[in-house]
Chain A
Amino acid sequence: MSKNVSIKYALDWTTVAYFVLLVFMGWISIYGASYDFDQTSILDWDQRAGKQFVWILTAFGIGGMLLLVDYKMYNFFAYIIYAAVILLLIVTIFVAPDIKGSRSWLVLGPVSFQPAELAKMATALALSRFMSAYNYRIKNWKDLIPLMMFILLPFTLIILQKETGSALVFLAFTLMLYREGMNGIILLLGVFAILLFVVVIKYSIIPIGIEQGTLGILLASALILLVQLGYALFFSKHRRDALILLAGVAGVVVIAVVVNIWYKINFNYVAVFAVLASSVYWSFVALFKRFKKYWMLAAISFGAILFSYSADYLFEKVLEPHQQIRIKVLLNMEDDPTGAGYNVNQSKIAIGSGGLWGKGFLNGTQTKLKYVPEQDTDFIFCTVGEEHGFWGSTLVLVVYWLLLMRLLRIAERQRESFNRIYAYCVTSIFFFHLMINIGMVLGIMPVIGIPLPFFSYGGSSLWGFTILLFILLRLDASRLERMH
């Protein structure tokens, strides 16, 4: 009994309030999105809103139950839970029926469930346990490999279930890793790789002359050289090195242009040559001046130009056709408002037509008339945008922001690194979902089908997010328990 009282006392009620608020707003939006002209009640059990209400009630129940568990259990059972979920994921691949090309749903009578939703929680717990171990060092290779395995195992299994979107969520853990000591350059490199990829893909269709290369590679090379220049100028303050680089590149460009007058050359080769030469140059500088960081610069440049040069190939061979087209639509390379671009176009129309104040609750014509596909799951934010306009959508974003800030605060006040790492896992996952989902709906991220936490229709995802959050709340509450 005494434990119960202390939970009530120690629970972070602010977070619970955000949680309830989001769930409630999501429920209202689902009602708006699936509202049909002849339907009347929000509690009609045959309708989506009615069903979601059931999910919400059960989620509350699950949350409450999780709070009653002794906090030490989560640490203790972390690997067991992880192992169980991995097993479940493996089983799922073989027994799940094919639903829209994905084999990720376990069907048990009238209820179907997506184990991938549980995988996030299980991985978060396992990572927290592993990384909070006494002798764990992130820069230690022996520790790094199992760490990567913890993430890559569920990632691969979910990819095998053809749920690429859910699998990509595991990338979110990099944010937690950053907090726990991963070199920030890795995150920057990730952003840089995305930038190079986008530039190469978007401009590789623009040729220079006839058979003289494409704009994509040229721009990518220019970007790489710019990074080198910036690094030399602002971080190492070796101005002379930067000047030599600049002169070298200018020389190569001039020679190329002059040669081109008599003999048509492929400028892509020139660009690649320039970057490779610069890598060699930085290696020499590193060797003679014993300035070790230039080794890294040389290596990164080398890797970046290789990556740029093969981006086209990766794009066409690794990505599936529907993924390629989604990216092309996002980059405005293809205009296909009735095909691949349909979702995003309709979603932008729905949101854009909301205006400042929206069309009012249940008055959205776009979502109501089913113009936006997946409007109560992945595209639920459209309904908010259309019916409640700019202020409504902004309000929802602000609530999410408040929740994430609150979670960061909770994370940093933990004494146990297990708790902190787990808190960062949860924050990273929520943030990743928010960024991808709303970015997709707003047309600035590619279409990746992952739900909006607490908002999107569906029991699995709501339960999954609730479990993630309430385990954290339970861990957080233990902080005061110990003081008593």
Chain B
Amino acid sequence: MINDTLQNRRFVIAGVITAIVLLYIVRLFSLQILDDRYKEGADSNAFLKKTQYPPRGLIYDRNNTLLVYNKPAYDITLIMREIRDLDTLSFCRALNIDKKFFIKRIAEIKDRKRNYGYSSYTPQVFMTQLSIEDIATIQQSMYKYPGFYIQNRTLREYAFPHAAHVLGSIGEVSQKRIESDSYYKSGDYAGRDGVEYTYEKSLRGEKGVEILLRDAKGRIKGKYEDGRMDVAPKAGSNLILTIDIQLQVLAEKLLDGKIGSVVAIEPKTGEILALVSNPTFNPALLVGRQRSKNYAELVRDPTKPLMNRATQAQYSPGSTFKPIQALVTLELGGINEHTRFSCSGKGSTPIKCTHSHGSPVDLLNAIEQSCNPYFWQAFRSTIEKDGYGEKNKNFKHSFDQWREAVLSFGFGHKFEDSDVYEQTRGNIPSEKFYNRYFGETGWRAMTIRSLSIGQGEILATPLQLANSMAAIANEGFYITPHLNKNDTMQKRIHTVMVDKKHFPIVNEGMWRVFEFGTGRRTKIPDVSMCGKTGTVQNNHGKDHSLFVGFAPRENPKIAIAVVVENAGFGATWAAPISSLLMEQYLNGKVARTEMYDHIIMSTTNSDVKKR
């Protein structure tokens, strides 16, 4: 009888067995179907994915002169977990390093505070950017050092020691960039500034991968699926720049010994022909193992060679703003072609004139002679044209109109659709700004009189100045200044808010600057040129010397802006430099050797090292 009740226990036993089997099936389901972690674990376990770095795209100038190319370099990488029985001494000897350095590097790699993504399973860079000579010894004996690998890389090489700011440099990617772009892995290189940064995606190409099978001891067991799953690296695309390297080199030479910048633009296309900031440096300094040392030196240099003054420095444009002022006041009806204002020379109020000329003056004369009182009165009659009105409403409205028109020339904002790296926006002060500063009704034309002659709160970058000249040369539009010579960039057309009919008179005024005015001594023989000099007071010593202009007058091929900081009159430095550059670009050579020699030999700032 007992047996009968005991017999039922078989159901308990069968139930326990079934429950365990079911539990295991559920566990299998969660491991194999639900959880993806283990698949990745398997991959990094068994596959050694060797990254194949593509050659980076080459960079040419507008005439297909090669500017930047590649040379092979080698990294020594290591996988900490795979290092076994390392003969440190022979390893160091083969790499020509001392043991202290070796120990320091290993400690640095393992330090998660400095080496964020450290893992003993993944390749870490031990030494970087070695030359063929550096690794010649160790290459044959690499098998003796399991866990260490040689990784092929390419380094940048420069055909000219120039155009550093335009080209930019490449360097190891930051942790931040790795997080934002999954393409990068720790130790990768990427463009850090200049076109190397802007065109990083097309220049870098696509990394390839070679998948090798590796056993638990780290030994390579051959290619996975005979290499069928490998991805060949895709070479980066070449980049043709709008820069004319001859012009660029000349501009850098002319600025040598001076602090300043040059921007030259082809008005019809918006292509930047030269973009120079001085002091500058040899781009080759920021390549290879010397990079960080040189970089630190450049950072410490008080003349700030790393700063791209052509796009980042902002200046009051001074008299070089007068052509814009003329166009805007004509458009808004503050003056017309025949308007004359009186000038009392140095005795003028509230702004005195810095040049001596007859009175009253008309617009042509005013541009030619850079007459301050004329432009003050033109500005005033523009913004006061409807009176002040209740709570200065009419006045503010007119001021806004004026500001909008000036902004349309590319001032006061970055060229957001441009490929120029690191611009600053400059400044055209707004109504809001003055309201805040002086109170809602606390400011009048008189308060902001400096704006009339391009001083006061107005700030512009050399790039913006050159661009405004392109707009005048084009009689009413500009194309976003850019560095990549491809046709799609030229579709970025911006029309200025000044009617075409107002341009000829300003054009003539600027022409007269070269014929009779401040530019007459720097005119290129047989070329009709338009321009405007500027001598701008500032808080840092001598006046800045500025020049803007374009040539030839009939069919403008080059628009230019030049700034030489703390050098004196615009006509003395910026004008001849512009003129020589335009001559080079238009005639292919510089014939005025005397002027050339004078500029080349001069130093306006003793802090700047002559190159």
Contacts and interface: CB of A to CB of B under 8 A. Distances in A.
A351 B27 CA distance: 11
Given A365-B47, A390-B33, A400-B21, A349 B41 contact: yes
A442 interface: yes
A190 interface: no
A51 B46 CA distance: 27
28 contacts: A37-B221, A179-B9, A349-B38, A350-B42, A352-B31, A352-B32, A352-B37, A352-B38, A352-B39, A352-B42, A354-B32, A356-B32, A365-B213, A368-B46, A369-B46, A371-B45, A390-B32, A390-B33, A393-B28, A394-B28, A401-B21, A405-B14, A408-B14, A408-B17, A411-B10, A431-B20, A434-B20, A435-B20
B31 A348 contact: yes
A175 interface: yes
Contact of A366 (B25, B46, B81): B46
B296 interface: no
A397 interface: yes
Which of B14, B21, B39 lies at the interface centre, i.e. has the most chain A CB atoms within 10 A of its CB?
A: B21
A442 B28 contact: yes
A386 B81 CA distance: 24
B438 interface: no
Contacts of B14: 405, 408
B42 A408 contact: no
A330 interface: no
A377 to B, nearest CB: 16
A209 interface: no
A451 B20 CA distance: 18
By secondary structure, the A interface counts as helix
A438 B24 contact: yes
B88 interface: no
Contacts of B46: 365-366, 368-369, 371
B32 A385 contact: yes
Interface of B: 2, 6-7, 9-10, 12-14, 16-18, 20-21, 23-25, 27-29, 31-33, 35, 37-39, 41-43, 45-47, 81, 213-217, 221-222
A370 interface: yes
B6 A408 contact: no
Contact of A444 (B6, B27, B29): B27
B38 A404 contact: no
Given A355-B39, A365-B46, A404 B17 contact: yes
A442 B27 contact: yes
A52 to B, nearest CB: 22
A49 B25 CA distance: 27
Contacts of A350: 42
Contacts of B214: 369
Nearest to B6: A181
Given A369-B215, A371-B46, A371-B215, 6 more contacts: A37-B222, A181-B6, A184-B12, A353-B38, A385-B28, A390-B32
Which A-B residue pairs are the 4 nearest by beta carbons?
Answer: A352-B38, A353-B42, A365-B46, A369-B215
A180 B42 contact: no
A374 B90 CA distance: 36
B38 A348 contact: yes
Interface residues of A, number: 47
A370 B214 CA distance: 10
A394 B17 contact: no
Given A348-B31, A397-B25, A353 B13 contact: no
Given A412-B7, A438-B24, A179 B32 contact: no
B215 to A, nearest CB: 4
B461 to A, nearest CB: 56
A54 B10 CA distance: 37
Contacts of B81: 338
A444 B42 CA distance: 20
A136 interface: no
Interface in A337-391: 338, 346, 348-356, 365-366, 368-371, 385-386, 389-390
A439 B33 CA distance: 18
Nearest to A439: B24
Interface string A27-44: 000000000010000000
A26 B408 CA distance: 81
A269 interface: no
A45 interface: no
A431 B6 CA distance: 20
Contacts of B23: 444
Nearest to B35: A352
Interface string A178-212: 11110010000000000000000000000000000
Given A351-B32, A401-B17, A181 B2 contact: yes
B7 A394 contact: no
A390 B222 contact: no
Contact of A356 (B18, B33, B37): B33
Contacts of A412: 7, 10
B215 A393 contact: no
A340 B81 CA distance: 16
Nearest to A424: B13
Contact of B24 (A366, A397, A408): A397
B221 A369 contact: yes
A180 B6 CA distance: 7
Contacts of A365: 42, 45-47, 213
Contact of B18 (A370, A371, A393, A401): A401
A350 B32 CA distance: 9
A177 B46 CA distance: 47
Given A365-B47, A397-B24, A412-B7, A351 B31 contact: yes
Which of B29, B42, B222 lies at the interface centre, i.e. has the most chain A CB atoms within 10 A of its CB?
A: B42
A389 B32 CA distance: 7
B411 to A, nearest CB: 61
Contacts of B28: 351, 385, 390, 393-394, 397, 442
Contacts of B16: 175
A427 to B, nearest CB: 8
B405 to A, nearest CB: 66
B215 A397 contact: no
A317 B10 CA distance: 38
Nearest to B29: A390
Given A351-B38, A370-B216, A405-B14, A179 B6 contact: yes
Interface in A393-422: 393-394, 397-398, 400-401, 404-405, 408, 411-412
B118 to A, nearest CB: 15
A73 to B, nearest CB: 26
A397 B32 contact: no
A370 B29 CA distance: 24
A140 B65 CA distance: 105
Contacts of A178: 9, 12-13
A404 B81 CA distance: 44
A368 B42 CA distance: 12
A376 to B, nearest CB: 14
A394 B25 contact: yes
A400 to B, nearest CB: 7
B38 A179 contact: no
